[in-house]
Amino acid sequence: MERLVSMMKKFTALSAIVLLAACGQESVNEADFYTGKDVSYIVATNAGGGYDAYARMIGNYLQKYLAAENVIIRNVPGAGHIVGANTLWRSKPDGLTIGTFNAGLIYGQLTGKDGLNFDLREFEWIGKAAGEPRAIVVSDNCAIKSMADLMAAGEPVKFGSAGIGSASYSDMMLLAKALDLNVNVIAGFDGTEGEMSMMRGEICAILGSTSSFQNFIDAGYGHFILSIGGSLDGVPNAMDLAESEQARKLVAIIDSLATLGRISAAPPGTRKERVEKMRAAYRAALQDPALLAEAGRTGRPIEPAYGDEVRQLVVDALDQTPETIELIRKAINGAQ
């Protein structure tokens, strides 16, 4: 026990010294603050998968442009990105921690979901790496061939989506509400399970990001019937089909969340100079020809936006009237 006490004393003393040293350094050379330091990049999913891959790719170039010693990927998975975002929220705002998570958490904040301990408006937004329009793809096994068929469907059309509470499920429910679609959304098709199910002729269609279906469509298993935000040849746009002001608002939310792909932020209260430095490095990284080449080879689309632009998109998406929020809540929780 005595040994333990002395250990603890030593440890406390040691950490005090480390803290003092860190403070001293801070004031001296803010100009090259990041030089030789370790930066943590929190990823709200486990290793492997899109968020992890983007972070590891961008992290390499951030390290170069910050002149940091290391950019260490910290996987903090759980509860559909909430644990990761919570962790980033309460991380020390010293500029040495940033994080990436799904912009679908905007739905969570709008509807006051349990477990969210953050306010997305307050994060110091660094930028976003991707973002592409959503679209509905239908299987060729299905009787529904076009958007007109879907709008006129007598029987509920079976749609697949990821688990309840996920961003893709919320998108789907919102779209169904906005366009008054007669659909039966079956949740729990993760990853490519939905495509398998369409190939087996079970579910009829899925809503998702355009590029994720490219393999499926190239192989001749299905085609797009609706695009949200983007423009696909010969395919109607959801905004044109939305009849009321309310409906257009809902479609706009889906669209702006789709735009906010692979977002990165620093904890609130991070010093301005450091945020600016991080933003500059992020911008330089995403404009680096080597990164663009790598992204092209690995099939990861890059559609960047930076700093205040991303912040504005987030703030706008969260700025909804109580009526719209109520509508969203009803749409998303409709199944319960």
Partner 1 sequence: MRIDAIWNGRVATALAMLLIFLSMSLLALGFPEKARLMPLLVGVPGTLLGLIQLVSEIRHARQESADDPDIRLTSAERSMFVWIFLFFVGVLGFGFSYAAPVLVFSFLYVGRKESLKIAVISAAATWAVLFGFFEKGFEIPLFPGLIVEWLLG
Partner 2 sequence: MDLGGIFDALLTIVSSPYHIFLLLIAVPIGMFFGAIPGLGGKLGIVLAIPFVFGMDATAGALFLIAMHSVVHTGGAVPSILFGVPGTGPDAATIVDGLPMTRNGEAGRALGAAFGASGLGGVIGGLFILAVLPLLRPIVLAFSPAEFFLLALFGITLIAMLSGESLIKGLMVGFLGLMMAFVTLDPQTGTQRYTFDLLFLWDGVDIITAVLGMFAIPEMIALGVAGGSMARADKAAGSYGLGSVFRGIGDVFRHWGLSLRTSLIGCFIGMIPGLGGDAASWICYGHAVQSSKTPERFGEGAVEGVIAPETANNSKEGGSLLPTLFFAVPGSSGMAILLGAFVMLGIQPGPGMALSGMDIVWVLIWGLMLANIIAVIMFILVAPGLGYLSYVRGNLLIPFVLVLTFLGAFLSHRAWENMVLLIFLGALGYFLKKYHWPRPPFVIGLILGPIAEDSFHKSMSLWGPAFLLRPGALIMIGLIVLSIAYYIWGVVKNKKKPEWQHAD
Which residue lies nearer to partner 2 by CB, 2 or 114?
114
- Rounded to the nearest 5 percent, the helix, strand and coil shares of the chain are 50, 20, 35
Identity of the residue, 40 or 100, whose beta carbon is nearer to partner 1 in the bound complex = 40
How far, in Å, CA of 286 to CA of 297, rounded?
Answer: 15
Residues 293-312: x where in contact with partner 2 by CB under 8 A, - otherwise, as a string: ----xxx-------------
Number of residues that bind partner 1 (CB under 8 A): 14
Phi, psi of 47 (to 5 degrees): -60, 145
DSSP 305: E
State the nearest-atom distance from the C-beta of 304 to partner 1, in Å. Answer: 25
Neighbouring CB atoms inside 10 A of 25's CB total 12
- Judged by CB under 8 A, the residue of 164, 280, 318, 325 near partner 2 is 164
Based on CB atoms, which residue is closest to partner 1, 69 or 180?
Answer: 69
* Helix pair angle (322-332, 245-259), 10° resolution: 70
Encoding tokens for residue 169? Answer: 């499920």
Residue 43 structure tokens: 């990823």
CB 271, min distance to partner 2, A: 28
Task: Order across the sheet with 38-43: list the strands.
Answer: 70-75, 38-43, 97-101, 261-266, 124-130, 305-306
Within residues 90-119, the interface with partner 1 by CB under 8 A covers 92
Least Å from the CB of residue 40 to partner 1:
7
Residue 49: strand pairing partners? none
- Min. distance of Cβ 75 from partner 1 in angstroms? 9
By the rule CB under 8 A, 207 interacts with partner 2: no
CB 205 within 8 A of CB 134: no
- Of the candidate residues 10, 121, 200, 330, the single one contacting partner 2 (CB under 8 A): 200
Site mask for partner 2 (CB under 8 A), range 73-102, x = bound: -xxxxxxx-xx--x----------------
| Terminal alpha carbon distance of the chain | 54
Report d(CA 329, CA 245) in Å as an integer.
18
Q: Which two tokens stand for residue 193?
A: 């399970």
Longest dimension (CA), the chain: 79
Per-residue interface string for the shown chain with partner 2, residues 168-187, x marking contact by CB under 8 A: ----------------x-xx
Of the two residues 12 and 35, which places its CB atom closer to partner 1 in the complex? 12
Tokens of 290: 């080597």
Say whether residue 203 binds partner 2 (CB under 8 A): yes
By a kind-dependent CB cut-off of 5 to 8 A, residue 143 interacts, out of partner 1, partner 2, none, with none
Of these partners, partner 1, partner 2, none, which one is at the site of residue 7 (CB under 5 to 8 Å by kind)? partner 1
Stretch that binds partner 2, among 8-16, 30-38, 50-58, 238-246 (CB under 8 A): 50-58
One-letter amino acid identity for 149? Answer: D
CB distance 42 to 74 below 8 Å: yes
The structure tokens listed for 164 are 């309840």
- Compare residues 74 and 329 and give the one whose CB is closer to partner 1: 74
- Determine the size of the site formed for partner 2 (CB under 8 A): 48
Among 155, 218, 240, 245, binds partner 2 (CB under 8 A): 218
- Per CB under 8 A, the segment of 47-55, 61-69, 264-272, 301-309 that binds partner 2 is 47-55
Which residues, other chains included, contact 308 with Cβ-Cβ below 8 Å and sequence gap of 6+?
125
Q: Would you count residue 191 as binding partner 2 (CB under 8 A)?
A: yes
The footprint of partner 1 (CB under 8 A) covers: 3-4, 7, 11-12, 15, 19, 40, 70, 72-74, 92, 336
